Chain A
Amino acid sequence: AQTVTQSQPEMSVQEAETVTLSCTYDTSESNYYLFWYKQPPSRQMILVIRQEAYKQQNATENRFSVNFQKAAKSFSLKISDSQLGDTAMYFCAFMRDYTGANSKLTFGKGITLSVRP
């Protein structure tokens, strides 16, 4: 079974600065997908970024980028130029693949990120 660990319960960052959120996972699979989701107070999970394990290049989406270290089973999220709207809970998640029962997401405990004005 897969496990996802987020050991930092909360972090705080000054507006416009950069912050990195950590995530480690454990799996025996060689191909899989990793995600970072944002959950604001509205509770709706919003996809921030996705990484395919077979791709060596780290994914980037505007101000969001990841540092994917497959051998170390590490998947951190870097948020550049932090904005007040980035304040939310962030969850790291694992998926084996997009078919059948393998498409379920396994989530970490999450981290509360606060952006200070």
Chain B
Amino acid sequence: DQQVKQNSPSLSVQEGRISILNCDYTNSMFDYFLWYKKYPAEGPTFLISISSIKDKNEDGRFTVFLNKSAKHLSLHIVPSQPGDSAVYFCASGGTYNFNKFYFGSGTKLNVKP
């Protein structure tokens, strides 16, 4: 049973517009949430994170929102650029648990020029 779900396998967005990627989790004990970006033939690279004590974290064009009551997080990319085209994984887990994370199945983002 998946503890982290990304229900949209793919998303296509025009360059300059906002990309919104969504993620749901089931375990209320999770206290740390991350987004990773993955290009083909490469490993995932860390993008942005948020702890459960916050509901928003920004880093440049990337913002992660956390709604603990809904067990939902989202990644906003504004403005989207063609170089953002990649697979995005959300991961949730606990700093109490040796940083073991559960990953979603990924959303493939395509930003069209």
The yes or no verdict on A and B being binding partners is: no
Residues of chain A at the chain B interface (Cβ within 8 Å): none
Residues of chain B at the chain A interface (Cβ within 8 Å): none
